[in-house]
Amino acid sequence: MIQAIPVTQARKDLLKLVDQVDNEYSRVDLTKNGKIRATLVSPDYLDSLEETIYSLKNSKKDILAAEKEIVEGNFVTLAEVKKRLKDVR
């Protein structure tokens, strides 16, 4: 759940908001003059986002290569793998 509140309200409710983002694995957007200026998130949530970015960034080359192989028909289907395994036994 994303909640947006003015900075002035966040200042009053900071301890409650810290507990909320920690317990609910959520985020709170802080607004100033109606525009989001900052976001409060738990460290676990931030770690998860950073890990996802890292994984995607470092997997891009492999994903693009795999997509190219699929287009070229250079792949093995699950049925083929099962057949090959059956033939080996």
Nearest to 11 by CA among 42, 43, 46, 38: 38
**Is 0.75 topped by the overall pTM?**
no
Per-residue pLDDT of the chain (89 residues; tens, 9 = 90+): 678 999 999 999 999 999 999 998 889 999 999 999 999 999 998 999 999 999 888 898 898 999 999 999 999 999 999 988 888 77
Count of other CB atoms within 10 angstroms of residue 6 = 14
Task: Show the domains of the chain with their CATH numbers.
Answer: 2-41 (3.40.1620.10), 45-88 (no CATH)
